[in-house]
Amino acid sequence: MTSTEAFTARSARPGPTTRVRVREVSGTAVRDRRDDLATEEPLEIRLTAGGATRTLAVTMRTPGADFELAAGFLSGEGIAGPGDIASIAYCTDEDLPPEARYNTVTVRLHGPALPDLPTMHRHFMTSSACGVCGTASLEALRARQTPAPIPDTSGRVTGDALVPAARPFGPIAAETLYDLPRHLRKAQGIFGKTGGLHAAGLFTSDGTLLALREDVGRHNAVDKLVGWALLSGRLPLTSCLLLVSGRTSYEIMQKALSAGLPMVCGVSAPSSLAVDLAREFDLTLIGFLRNERFNIYSSPDRVRRPDATAAHTTDHAESN
């Protein structure tokens, strides 16, 4: 590729996949071919209100559904909820190089001034990727826990209470849960090309897939889903469940709680702090959902036993 071609490729709007040349070695055979990879690019999220603008966060993500990602991130961190966002747009600053303009989004908020971002920064420090203890993380969520916001006549939630209490859900049939990973995998279009993306799916209690998002980061995929729900007026998601394609971390449970989801399922293991959060806030947490089996770590009353269950066992789960 010439330098001109390289610049043109970099200047174009990034897509969810990137084609590269690879050398494949299999046994004694060697061949050169093209391969599709999941694109990973930074996304800078800026906030603006009352004439002031500030960079809030930079996350590595797969391009696509960027506005939903920004909205979901703001919702999960307790910064903005339904009715708080005036607009979201890609940055058009002339000081940015062309290839960076689709890697920066500006969220304009209603109101005369930016929120108290130093206070909001405390919430950013409660993910499992940072060096604070689990007890402090749960205490931060307790501080944010407020009475569930009251929907208006349209069914949308008003106000800035972003951690609605979980509401009754289910019970959902075990057989319905068995089918969810298959539905999720079937809907993963980009994963089929790259094999390198996580997915998050939003399902109804009868197993209907409402929406799916893919990303190199499973937390980004969840943010995109929550952002979709926020921007389409569907929050809180009290009648839905979330399925993620990997392990379930505290960070994912925090986002689910903020969105009002009563149930979170993962095809792999949950972390200890994810279980603590689920038990603290009465969320049903399911792990190892694959091959017609799963473990329930909290609030099992939202799941009906399989029809052919002969006996209840308490055997420990095998390691992932």
292 is in an annotated binding site: yes
- What is the DSSP secondary structure assignment for residue 191, as one 8-state letter? H
288 is in an annotated binding site: yes
Identify which of 286, 267, 247, 264 has the alpha carbon closest to the alpha carbon of residue 183.
267
Say how many Å lie between the first and final Cα of the chain, rounded: 43
Type of residue at 114: L
**Beta strands, E only, 130-197:** 172-173
- Contacts within 8 Å (CB) and 24+ apart, 265-268: 265/177, 265/180, 265/241, 265/289, 265/294, 267/181, 267/243, 268/320
Tokens of 63: 């391009």
- At 241, which helix (H) or strand (E)? strand 240-244
Triad 68, 254, 222: Cα angle to 5°: 30
The yes-or-no answer on residue 130 being catalytic is yes
220 is in an annotated binding site: no
- At 75, which helix (H) or strand (E)? helix 66-76
203 is in an annotated binding site: no
Triad 91, 2, 215: Cα angle to 5°: 45
Residue of 91, 130, 133, 240 with catalytic role: 130
Triad 231, 287, 202: Cα angle to 5°: 20
291 is in an annotated binding site: yes
103 is in an annotated binding site: no
C-beta of residue 47 within 8 angstroms of C-beta of residue 107:
yes
Measured in whole angstroms, the distance separating CA 107 from the mean position of its chain's CA atoms is 18
Q: Which alpha helices (DSSP H) does 169-243 contain, by range?
A: 174-187, 189-194, 218-231
Type of residue at 309: T
Binding site listing: 288-293
Residues acting as catalytic residues: 130
